[in-house]
Amino acid sequence: MGPLWVVLAITAVKSLVVIVALLTAFAYMTWLERRLVSRFQVRIGPNRVGPFGLLQPVADGIKLFFKEDFMPSGADRALYFIAPGLAMVTAFTAFAVIPFGPPEVKLWGVPLLQIANPNAGILFILAVSSIGLYGIILGGWSSNSKYPLLGALRSSAQMISYELGVGLTLVSVILLSGTLQLPQIVEQQTLTWFGFLPRWNIFVIPVGPLAFLLFLIGATAETNRAPFDLPESEQELTAGYHTEYGGMKFAAFFVAEYVNLVTASAVAVTLFFGGWDGPFVDQVPLLGVLWFIAKVFAFVFFFIWLRATLPRVRYDQLMDLGWKLLVPLAILNLAITSAIVLIWPSLGGG
């Protein structure tokens, strides 16, 4: 590795590139979602603003930027201002530990295709996404209005309940890999079984598919996506925790939501679908980035599909699903995984 300032400079550039990429991804995810949901509903979708409506996110952004800046009377001024920023910053931070390419790509000894590699990568993601919850709660509370407060309470209850299930599910993946570091988890999945089947965690029958399913349900609930978008269900709560937010502050919450979705997709890809693993990556390491983006895109498409397909669940159904189904199944999965790893230690990453 080079001197400290080189490492810092490279890290700063990496972070900047990732933030710009995520913001662009956010803008075009809103476009993609509107187009796809329109298709699912036999409509056309935004097509007047630019070719294929491609300038729609730009117009939305400029419009939101030039909206009136607003503060509700009786709001907690500091917290009202901080909350959207907190939600957005934590959404970006969680992405920092995700490897989006092979670690061999280096510049002066610094891996280029991952921003940071702490030795507790998965825990870092769980911790940061939990801090993101504060953005929602503070936003709901500081607005001094009833709907945001109720939406924020719902959101916190929902996210804490599902955090349990997701956490337990992740423990079984950690057991399979024997490490908390995301690059190593991906590295293990680049191996193959019988010489052709990729050793992705999803293919570890029977625990892999079950863990993936539990993680997928939990991640949908944690990112507040349909069918679990109760914190912002409009027929009961107007717009949930961001009811009193307009203009750019609302846009910040919007960014946080979509970036969280990208992060959840990226975590699913990293833990279960071999991350950047794919054909020809060992010859051309940079190809890994493309495979990673393709896989994440597939997940994003899946989440949009889910939103266009399923109706919103009721609140008691949501809690029942979380506590009575996900948590017991996650514990069962954990037990089976432990047994398998005990019998066949080579699976547990040696």
**Residues near other proteins, by CB under 8 A:** 34, 38, 41-49, 53, 55-56, 58-63, 66-68, 70, 234, 238-239, 242-247, 250
| Nearer of residues 124 and 241 to other proteins, judged by Cβ | 241
Q: Are 56 and 50 a contacting pair, CB within 8 Å?
A: yes
- The structure tokens listed for 118 are 């702490």
Structural contact between residues 7 and 110, judged by C-beta atoms closer than 8 angstroms = yes
Q: Residue 137 is encoded by which pair of tokens? A: 């709660």
Phi-psi region of 179 (alpha: psi -120 to 50; beta: other; left: phi over 0): beta
Q: Which is nearer to other proteins, 47 or 119 (CB)?
A: 47
Nearest CA among 285, 304, 331, 322 for reference residue 106: 285
Residues 300 and 294: their CA atoms lie apart, in Å, by 10
C-beta of 54 vs 287, nearer to other proteins? 54
Longest dimension (CA), the chain: 66
Nearest distance, CB of residue 31 and other proteins, angstroms:
10
Under 8 Å between Cβ of 231 and 136? yes
Instruction: Tell me the C-alpha distance between 142 and 68, whole Å.
Output: 19
Q: Which is nearer to other proteins, 212 or 241 (CB)?
A: 241
Nearer to other proteins, 152 or 207 (CB): 152
Shorter beta-carbon distance to other proteins: residue 45 or 99: 45
Closest approach, Cβ 74 to other proteins, in A, equals: 14
Rounded Cα–Cα distance for residues 304 and 287 (Å): 26
Question: Nearest approach, Cβ of 40 to other proteins (angstroms)?
Answer: 11
What's the closest the beta carbon of residue 313 comes to other proteins, in angstroms? Answer: 19
- Least distance (Å) between residue 264 CB and other proteins: 23
Strands 197-198 and 192-193: antiparallel
* Closest to 155 in 3D by CA, of 30, 315, 333, 267: 315
Q: Return the number of the residue (11 or 238) whose C-beta is nearest other proteins.
A: 238
Min dist. Cβ of residue 246 to other proteins (A): 4
Alpha carbons 107 and 285: distance in angstroms, whole number: 14
* Minimum distance, C-beta of residue 65 to other proteins, in the bound complex (Å): 8
Q: Least Å distance between CB 38 and other proteins? A: 5
Q: How far is CA 26 from CA 22, 32, 115, 191, 257, in A?
A: 6, 10, 19, 33, 9
Question: Of 73 and 283, which CB lies nearer to other proteins in the complex structure?
Answer: 73
Residue 264 CB contacts under 8 Å (≥ 6 apart), including other chains: 219, 220, 222, 223, 299
